[in-house]
Structure 1
Amino acid sequence: MQSGGNEARAHLGAAAGPAYRRLYERIREAILSGQLTAGARLPASRQLAAESGVSRNTVLAAFDQLNAEGYLEARRGSGTYVARVLPEQMISPGRAVKSSAQSRATPRGLSERGQRIAGTDRMPLPAITGASSHSTAFQIGLPGLDEFPSELWARLYAARMRQSARDLMRYDDAAGYRPLREAIAAYIATARGIRCTADQVVVVSGSQQALEFCARILLDPGDPAWIEDPGYLGARAALISAGARLVPVPVDDKGLDVSAGIEREPGARLAIVTPSHQFPLGSTLSLERRIALIDWAARAGVWVVEDDYDSEFHYVGRPLAALQAIDQHDRVIYVGTFSKAMFPSLRLGYLIAPRELVDGFTAAHLSTDMHAHLLDQAVLTDFIREGHFNRHLRRMRVLYGTRQKALIREADRLRGRLRVAPSDGGLHVIGWLPKDFDDREVATAAARRDIHAWPLSLHSIEPNHPPALLLGYAGTTEPDIREGIDILGQLLGGRATAK
Structure 2
Amino acid sequence: MKSRQSWADLYAFEIVRGSETPLFRQLYLQLRAAILSRRLRPGTKLPSTRQLASQLGVARAAAVAAYEQLLAEGYTSGRHGSGTYISPDLPEPIAEHATGRKKPIATVALKARQLQPLGDFIDVTVQSDERPFNLGRTLIDDRTLELWRKLSARTFRSLAPSHFGYSDPRGTVELRKAICDYLEAARAVKCGPEQIVVTAGTQQAIDIIIRILPNRNREVWVEDPGYPLTRQALLAAGATVHPIPVDRQGIDVGAGVKSAPNACAVFVTPSHQFPMGVVLSMARRLELLAWARKKDAWIVEDDYASEFRYGGRPLASLQGLDEGERVIYIGTLNKALFPGLRIGYAVIPHALLRSFVAARYLMDRQPSTLSQAVVAAFMEEGHFAAHIRRMRVLYRDQRDELVAALKRRLDADLTVDAPDQGMHLVAFARRGLSDIAIERTGREHGVIVRPMSRLYLAAAPRSALVLGFSGHSRQTIVPAVERLARALEMQSRSTPRARKTIPKC
Q: Give 1:445's aligned residue.
A: 441
Look up the equivalent residue of 1:464 and give its one-letter code. A
- Cα distance in 2 for partners of 1:140, 1:341 equals 14
Q: In structure 2, the residue corresponding to 1:397 is in which secondary structure? A: helix
Q: Is 1:417 aligned with 2:463?
A: no
Q: CA deviation at 1:223?
A: 1.2
Paired residue for 1:474? Answer: 470
Could you tell me how far apart the structure 1 residues matched to 2:194 and 2:390 are? Answer: 31
* Partners of 2:445 and 2:487 within 8 A in 1: no
Q: TM-score, normalised by structure 2?
A: 0.73
Structure 1, residues 21-44: CA drift from partner, whole Å, max 9, x if none? xxxxxxxxxxxxxxxxxxxxxxxx
Task: Indicate the residue corresponding to 1:65 in structure 2.
Answer: 111
CA deviation profile, 1:91-123 (whole Å, cap 9, x unmatched): xxxxxxxxxxxxxxxxxxxxxxxx4x4344468
The 1:438–1:219 alpha-carbon spacing in structure 2 relative to 1, beyond 3 Å, is: farther
Aligned residue in 2 for 1:324: 319
1:189-200 equivalences in 2 (<5 Å): 189-200=184-195
Map 1:50-449 to 2 at 5 A. 64-65=110-111, 69=115, 115=117, 117-121=118-122, 125-127=126-128, 135-145=130-140, 149-164=144-159, 166-220=161-215, 223-412=218-407, 413-449=409-445
CA contact (8 A) 1:435 1:467 kept: no
* 1:281-307 deviations in Å (ceiling 9; x for gaps): 000000000000000000000000000
TM-aligned CA distance change 1:197 to 1:406, over 3 Å: same
> Matched residues in 2 for 1:178 and 1:381: separation?
9
- In 1, are the aligned partners of 2:224 and 2:246 still within 8 Å (CA)? yes
CA contact (8 A) 1:67 1:462 kept: no
Inter-partner Cα distance in structure 1 for 2:258 and 2:354: 33
Distance in 2 (alpha carbons) for counterparts of 1:345 and 1:434? 37
| Structure 1 gap ranges (5+) | 1-58, 70-86, 88-114, 129-134
Offset, 1:167:
2.8
Cα distance in 1, alignment partners of residues 236 and 159 from structure 2? 39
Instruction: Kindly report structure 1 stretches of 4+ aligned residues shifted beyond 6 Å.
Output: none
Provide the TM-score with structure 1 as the length reference: 0.73
**Offset of 1:145 from its aligned partner?**
3.8
Deviation at 1:399, TM superposition (A): 0.9
Q: Aligned partners of 2:446, 2:459: CA distance in 1, in Å?
A: 27
Alignment partner, residue 15 of structure 2: none
User: Residues 319-366 of structure 1: CA distance to partner in whole angstroms, max 9, x if unpaired?
Assistant: 331001000111000001001100001110000011111111111111
What does the per-residue CA deviation read over 1:161-188, in whole Å, with 9 as the maximum and x for residues that have no partner?
Answer: 0012553232211111111001111110
Q: Give the residue type in structure 1 aligned to 2:237.
A: A
8 Å CA contact 2:135–2:467 kept in 1: the answer is: yes
Equivalent positions of 1:4-23 (< 5 A) are none
**Number of equivalenced pairs:** 385
How far, CA to CA, are the matches of 2:278 and 2:358 in structure 1?
Answer: 35
Distance apart, 1:267 and its partner CA: 0.8
Q: Distance in 1 between matches of 2:125 and 2:438?
A: 15
Percent identical among aligned pairs is: 37
One-letter amino acid of the counterpart of residue 424, structure 2 = H
C-alpha spacing 1:268/1:472, structure 2 compared with 1 (3 Å): same
Query: What is the CA distance between 1:253 and its match in structure 2?
Result: 1.1
CA distance in 2, matches of 1:169, 1:434: 59
Flag the 1:222–1:357 CA change in 2: closer, same or farther, 3 A: closer
CA contact (8 A) 2:445 2:484 kept: no
Q: Is the 8 A contact 1:207 1:336 kept in 2?
A: yes
Offset at 1:450?
2.7
- Determine the structure 2 residue equivalent to 1:489: 485
> Quick check: 280-289 or 434-443, which moved more?
434-443
| Runs (5+) with no aligned partner, structure 2 | 1-105, 492-505
Partner SS state of residue 155, structure 2 = helix
CA distance in 1, matches of 2:315, 2:467: 24
Once the two structures are TM-superposed, the CA of residue 212 in structure 1 deviates from its matched residue by 0.6
